[in-house]
């Protein structure tokens, strides 16, 4: 995109390239006119002051490569440069970057850290990464992980990469593999759980339950190791990606995950706490896909965190 101006009180023109193609006009303007209220941006579009190729269009218009957008002169609040707040150490985040190129960043997210701020969380993964990479203006989460879950978290660095990755997700061509510890001896024949889920809120927290009228949800479970009748280490693959899907499907099967305060077993959680478990035992171990058009393969695995390996080792010695 190029931006040509002829004076402080004159309109500017944006020439759209492939990087921005496909974005809604309103979202493009909100990103371009930092500091301008959303309501005013929509007023500019609807009044015809914003034009695409000299024509009036609606805010939902999908911009295309080669479009020339007229942006009227507006008063905006000055935007300060992003600076790292005093006292915030982001060295830990740099050490968590497993892979990075010009398109994406893959983090090994620690348990207990939200992927984004909000709901009482001031700094999530994406905000921290934007502070660490202030020169990367288009960092966006590709998907999400529960705050209590560790492992592979993918972030796009370019709008074109984000569009491609969302296309992969919609087509169910992004493969995610988790490691989880479930209560009891997981049945050998129970490999596929197909139960619709619906989400409600309990106080400030989301709670998900099995509901025949909910959204279709499918999870595949593979027993990897059994520890007597006490616990089973599982490999888990998602066909759909609903909130808390693995946790709810495991609990509905009668084998809740270890360390799960919301859907878990108090007795099982207490037993694992005696072995040193202080978090949910759920880890996003592997993420893979092929880029559209080029068919280039991408795949990354991150090892089970030390605090989870300790619990598995203790169970193995005991059972």
26, 67, 108, 146: which one is catalytic?
A: 146
Check residue 119 and give its pLDDT.
Answer: 52
Residue that the structure tokens 């990367």 belong to: 136
Check residue 22 and give its pLDDT.
Answer: 81
Provide the token pair at 166: 């969302």
The reported pTM is: 0.77
Question: C-alpha distances in angstroms, 195 versus 140, 222, 286?
Answer: 31, 17, 24
CA–CA gap between residue 110 and residue 117 (Å, rounded): 15
Of the candidates 5, 55, 52, the residue with the CA atom closest to the CA atom of residue 29 = 52
Q: What is the pLDDT along the chain (319 residues), one digit of tens a residue?
A: 665 554 446 888 989 887 778 888 988 888 788 778 888 999 999 999 999 999 999 999 999 889 999 999 887 655 444 455 555 678 888 999 999 999 999 999 999 999 987 655 567 899 899 888 888 878 999 999 999 999 999 999 988 899 899 999 989 999 999 999 999 999 999 999 999 999 887 555 778 999 999 999 999 999 999 999 999 999 999 999 899 999 999 999 999 999 999 999 999 999 999 999 999 999 999 999 999 989 999 999 999 999 999 999 999 999 8
Task: State the distance between the two ends of the chain, measured CA to CA, in whole angstroms.
Answer: 61
> Which domains does the chain carry?
2-71 (3.10.290.10), 91-167 (3.30.2350.10), 174-318 (3.30.2350.10)
Annotated active-site residue 146? The verdict is: yes
Inter-axis angle of helices 25-32 and 38-46, nearest 10: 130
Check residue 6 and give its pLDDT.
Answer: 44
Check residue 80 and give its pLDDT.
Answer: 46
Check residue 203 and give its pLDDT.
Answer: 53
Check residue 8 and give its pLDDT.
Answer: 46
Where b means 16+ CB within 10 Å and e means fewer, 37-56 reads eeeebeebbeeeebbbeeee
Question: C-alpha distances in angstroms, 168 versus 174, 238, 243, 286?
Answer: 6, 14, 19, 16
Of the candidates 222, 258, 232, 250, the residue with the CA atom closest to the CA atom of residue 316 = 232
Of the candidates 235, 262, 244, the residue with the CA atom closest to the CA atom of residue 197 = 244
Check residue 28 and give its pLDDT.
Answer: 84
């Amino acid at each position: 995109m190029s931006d040509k101006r002829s004076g402080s009180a004159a309109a500017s023109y944006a020439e759209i390239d492939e990087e921005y193609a496909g974005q809604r006009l309103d979202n493009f303007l909100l990103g371009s006119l930092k500091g301008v209220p959303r309501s005013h941006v929509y007023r500019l579009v609807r009044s015809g002051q914003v034009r695409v190729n000299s024509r009036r269009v609606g805010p939902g218009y999908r911009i295309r490569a080669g479009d020339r957008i007229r942006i009227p002169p507006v008063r905006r609040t000055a935007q300060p440069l992003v600076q790292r707040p005093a006292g915030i150490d982001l060295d830990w985040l740099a050490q968590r970057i497993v892979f990075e190129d010009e398109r994406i960043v893959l983090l090994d997210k620690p348990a207990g850290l939200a992927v984004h701020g909000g709901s009482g969380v001031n700094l999530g993964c994406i905000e921290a990464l934007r502070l660490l990479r202030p020169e990367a203006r288009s960092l966006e989460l590709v998907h999400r992980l529960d705050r209590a879950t560790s492992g592979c978290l993918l972030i796009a660095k370019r709008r074109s990469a984000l569009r491609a990755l969302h296309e992969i997700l919609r087509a169910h061509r992004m493969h995610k593999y988790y490691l989880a510890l479930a209560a009891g001896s997981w049945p050998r024949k129970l490999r596929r759980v197909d139960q619709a889920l619906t989400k409600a809120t309990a106080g400030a927290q989301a709670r998900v339950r099995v509901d025949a009228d909910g959204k279709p949800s499918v999870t595949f479970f593979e027993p990897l190791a059994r520890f007597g009748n006490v616990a089973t280490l599982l490999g888990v693959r998602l066909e759909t990606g609903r909130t808390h899907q693995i946790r709810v499907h495991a609990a509905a099967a009668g084998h809740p995950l270890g360390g799960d305060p919301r859907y878990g077993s108090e007795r099982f959680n207490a037993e694992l706490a005696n072995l040193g478990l202080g978090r949910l035992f759920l880890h996003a171990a592997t993420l893979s896909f092929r880029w559209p058009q080029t068919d280039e393969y991408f795949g990354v695995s991150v090892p089970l965190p030390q605090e989870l390996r300790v619990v598995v080792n203790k169970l193995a010695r005991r059972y």
